[in-house]
Amino acid sequence: MKKSLSFTLLIAASVMVGLAIVEETTCSGMQAFAATIDGASENQSTLEKRSAASRFIAQTIAQSVDSKQGIPLTSTTIANIAERVAPAIVNIEVNQPVQGLSYPFGNLPDGFDFFFNGQRMPRGGNGNGAAPRPERHNTGTGFIVREDGYIVTNAHVVKGSSKITVTLNDKRQFEATAIGVDSFSDLAVLKINAKGLPTAEMGTSTGLRPGEFVIAIGSPMGYDHSVTLGIVSAVGRTVTDVNGNINFIQTDAAINPGNSGGPLLNMIGQVVGVNTAIAARAQNIGFSIPIDIAKPTVTDLIAERKIERPFLGLKVGALDETTLKALGLPAGTAGVFISQVFNGSSAAKSGLERMDIVQKIDGKDINTAQQLQDAVRARKVGESLNFMILRNKAVKPVTVTIGNYPSDPHEPSLPGRPSPGPKADSDDE
């Protein structure tokens, strides 16, 4: 396969070099006359330009083959990739009750939307205590990962749905079952009763660089199998308002309501990301879950294995000057303050309270939310952490048993002292 690809690229390189040479040596009548007069120096210059063009093209082709990042872009490259991958892309239609609908990471703040078709998704019900509205019809995207009917999409596409309908590229429709939904990663796996289905090829998100071409295929606004081209705008992007658990791929490939759960493809048609959210107040700022993060979760969901992830059930914020002053603590006091404790969480059961200041965990200083998260995620569910906290200006030890990440982490927080400081700047932990 590689030899065949290399041969094809070699032919393409030869044609491109030929075109470069023709371009360099094609002149108007006056330019040709001038070249004749100053033959020696001009011939040398032309040869150098030809050589430089040849080296550049050969280097580009070699890099394309070695890194398996695709072939030089032509007018049909994207169309060929889309045509090849399209049979593995599916349209997902769901019925979801509006009342009580919740997102895997709580209600998104203004400025961010999960990209379903039609109207903006409701943010946790009608909010005024009125009777539930009828079920809402929404559209998302997915891609087939096994020929026997397993499909990957986003958790927020199917969570809480009463009915899921999958439409294949050949227009066949199937009722689907969500066999696994993981709120932590916002991934879900659906199953339809079909065999011999085409599948999307999994690539790798490791090594993706800003500036690389990527392709998004999905069902924006219900227009299934829409294809858009863009680039990787950034990698390792943390978007706590969407999902602080994931370091996203940011892309400017045009994605819109309905693209949720669709694939982000590299230039050889492999899946490198799962399109998840957009910045609603901006243009072409989309976020995709890296496929290397998605793969193990998808494998566990297909096997219907319980996924355990360390979780305490609290939010923490930085100890800034305003917070310290409100708590009557001296400047320079170390630690992070707990701004929220979820009801029924391991943090609540262990006795942690709002406005406790976490100063040490297992003897190590804690000065940032990230340090606390790292301490928790380095341990397993069921293990214990020894907290040293500051409460009412007194140091107190607290042993916390690590719990498992719940299906809906956004439970009401426990009552406690009013928060004197700024809004918490960390994710749920």
* Residue the block writes with tokens 């804690």: 366
Residue reference for tokens 């150098």: 48
Q: In terms of domains, do 146 and 283 share one?
A: yes
For residue 255, what pLDDT band results from cuts at 50, 70 and 90?
confident
Would the pLDDT of 197 be above 80?
yes
184 lies in which domain range? Answer: 77-307
Is residue 176's pLDDT more than 70?
yes
pLDDT of 74: 80
Q: What is the pLDDT of residues 279-321, one digit of tens each?
A: 767 677 888 899 988 999 999 999 988 888 888 988 888 888 8
Task: Please say if the pLDDT value at position 125 is more than 90.
Answer: no
Buried b (16+ CB within 10 A) or exposed e, 146-168: eeebbbbbbbbbbbbbeebbbbb
Q: So what's the pLDDT on residue 106? A: 44
| Active-site annotation holds for 186 | yes
Are both 260 and 352 inside the same structural domain? no
Please identify which residue in the block is written with the tokens 């030890």.
397
Distance CA 94, CA 171 (A): 17
Q: Are residues 273 and 315 in the same domain?
A: no
The answer to whether 260 and 153 have CB atoms below 8 angstroms apart is yes
Lowest mean pLDDT, pick from 34-48, 154-168, 295-309, 358-372: 34-48
Same-domain status, 213 and 328: no
Choice among 125-134, 149-158, 392-401 with the minimum mean pLDDT:
125-134
Q: Sort strands 357-361 and 384-391 into parallel, antiparallel or unpaired.
A: antiparallel
Per-residue pLDDT at 191 exceeds 80: yes
CB 317 within 8 A of CB 359: no
For residue 76, the model assigns a pLDDT of: 87
In angstroms, how far apart are the furthest CA atoms of the chain? 93
The pLDDT score that the predictor gives to residue 397 is 94
Q: Out of 1-5, 250-254, 293-297, which region has the weakest mean confidence (pLDDT)? A: 1-5
CATH number of the structural domain spanning residue 328: 2.30.42.10
Indicate whether 419 belongs to any domain: no
Residues 148, 197 contacting (CB under 8 angstroms): yes
Asked whether the whole model's pTM tops 0.85, one would answer no
* 339 and 257 within one domain: no
The answer to whether 230 and 40 are in contact (CB under 8 A) is no
In a 13 Å sphere around the CA of 361, the CA atoms on its Cβ side amount to 23
> What local confidence, expressed as pLDDT, does residue 46 receive?
53
The better pLDDT of the pair 257, 379 is held by 379
Q: Bridge-partner residues for 287, per DSSP?
A: 250, 277
Residue 200: count of CB within 10 angstroms of its CB? 24
251 within some domain: yes
Residue 221 to residue 218: CA distance in whole angstroms: 9
- Domain termination site, one of 273, 307, 341: 307
In a domain, 321, yes or no: yes
Q: Is the dihedral of CA 277, 278, 284, 287 positive or negative?
A: negative
Q: What pLDDT is recorded for position 188?
A: 93
Q: One of 64, 156, 346, 427 is an active-site residue; which one?
A: 156
- Same domain for 399 and 295, yes or no, is no
Instruction: Choose the catalytic residue: 64, 113, 183, 186.
Output: 186
Average of per-residue pLDDT values in the chain: 75
Do 290 and 244 fall within a single domain? yes
Same domain, 105 and 162: yes
List, in sequence order, the alpha helices (H) in 72-189. Answer: 77-85, 155-158
| Residue from 140, 151, 164, 114 nearest 222 by CA | 140
- Which of 64, 161, 226, 260 is an active site residue? 260
- 28 Cβ partners below 8 Å, 6+ apart? none
Using one digit for the tens of pLDDT, what is the confidence trace for 211-249? 999 999 988 777 778 898 988 998 887 766 556 667 888
Give the Cα separation of 334 and 324 in Å (integer): 10
User: Is it the case that residue 364 has pLDDT exceeding 80?
Assistant: yes
The per-residue pLDDT for 77 is 86
Indicate which CATH number applies to the domain containing 291. 2.40.10.120
Please state, for a pLDDT cut of 90, what percent of the chain lies above it.
31
Contact 260, 143 (CB under 8 A): no
What is the structure's pLDDT at 242? 56
Q: Give the side-chain half-sphere CA count within 13 A for 109.
A: 6
Residues 151 and 195 in one domain: yes
Section 43-54 average pLDDT: 54
In a domain, 289, yes or no: yes
Look at the chain and report how many structural domains it folds into: 3
For the cut 60, the answer to whether the pLDDT of residue 60 exceeds it is no
Q: Which residues, including other chains, have CB under 8 Å from residue 39's CB and lie 6 or more apart?
A: none
| pLDDT higher than threshold 90 for residue 207 | no
pLDDT 10s digits, 63-89 = 544 445 556 778 888 899 999 999 999
Cβ-based neighbours of 44, under 8 Å, separated by 6 or more: none
Angle at the Cα of 191 (from 293 to 181), degrees rounded to 5? 45
DSSP string computed for 262-313: -EEE-TTS-EEEEEEEEETTSSS-EEEEEHHHHHHHHHHHHTTPPP--EE--
Chain centroid offset of residue 120 CA: 20
Q: Does residue 156 carry a catalytic annotation?
A: yes
Residue type, 40: A
260 as an active site residue: the answer is yes
- Assign 28 to helix, strand or coil: coil
Torsion of CA 422, 425, 427, 429, to 10 degrees: -70
Q: Are residues 218 and 242 in the same domain?
A: yes
